[in-house]
Amino acid sequence: MSGTIRRVEIRGRVQGVGYRAWVEHQARKHGVEGWVRNRRDGSVEALFCGPEDVVADLVTSCRHGPSSARVDDVIEETAGADTLGLRYPGERFSVLSTI
């Protein structure tokens, strides 16, 4: 693990529209580590770890999401390396269960 770690919470119409799969594809395409999951409140939460400019670009992309989504708000914060431990063993980027 190297680089910056950012946690984002995306609100709007972001469940049932392929948002998690879209985030996973974007993260893998850009080679970042982390995870994504749905939350019971209807939001999507993601964690990105990688070069600062790449992570910043991913966070910016989350403000738009896939074409079927409607993003109302993105809350972004710095996260610690311990949050990467939520990934499934052996995976660089995981789609986690809903919490």
Encoding tokens for residue 44? 């999507």
Among residues 6, 20, 37, 87, the one annotated as catalytic is 20
Rg, Å, the chain Cα set:
12
CA-to-CA distance for 37 and 47, rounded, in angstroms? 9
Among residues 6, 7, 37, 38, the one annotated as catalytic is 38
20 is annotated as an active-site residue: yes
Phi, then psi, of 5 in degrees rounded to 5: -125, 125
* Residues taking part in catalysis: 20, 38
